């Protein structure tokens, strides 16, 4: 199992990620609010602005201060390292 750094030394299991999105659109904002209401939201921003929203296969919503492109790049690097 490969872990991906989601910022501030917080790690996420790469195999569990279903979606990485920016928090700007209405559906993603609704997803974030629903997860907060249900207790499924995990805030890894350390007080910074949320720049990406990560949805896992367990329907947990992880908020990160890193942009989606950076997290996706780290996920690809983890996949490449696993295949070697």
Other beta carbons less than 10 A from residue 53's beta carbon: 23
Closest alpha carbon to 26 in 18, 34, 38: 34
Does the structure show a pLDDT above 80 at 4?
yes
Summarize pLDDT for 24-76 with one digit per residue, the tens. Answer: 999 999 999 999 999 999 999 999 999 999 999 999 999 999 999 999 999 99
pLDDT value of residue 84:
73
Task: Read off the pTM.
Answer: 0.93
Find all residues with CB under 8 Å of 29, minimum gap 6, and list them.
23
- Hey, CA dihedral for 26, 32, 33, 34, is it positive or negative? positive
End-to-end CA distance of the chain: 14
More confident residue, 17 or 77: 17
pLDDT at 54: 98
**Could you give the CA distance from residue 60 to residue 57 in angstroms, rounded to a whole number?**
7
């Amino acid at each position: 199992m490969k872990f991906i750094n989601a910022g501030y030394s917080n790690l996420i299991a790469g195999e569990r990620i279903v979606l990485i999105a920016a928090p700007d659109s209405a559906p993603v904002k609704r997803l974030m609010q629903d997860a907060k209401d249900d207790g499924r939201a995990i805030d890894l921003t350390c007080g910074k602005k949320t720049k990406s929203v990560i949805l896992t296969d367990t329907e947990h919503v992880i908020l990160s201060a890193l942009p989606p492109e950076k997290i996706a790049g780290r996920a690809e690097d983890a996949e490449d390292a696993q295949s070697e």
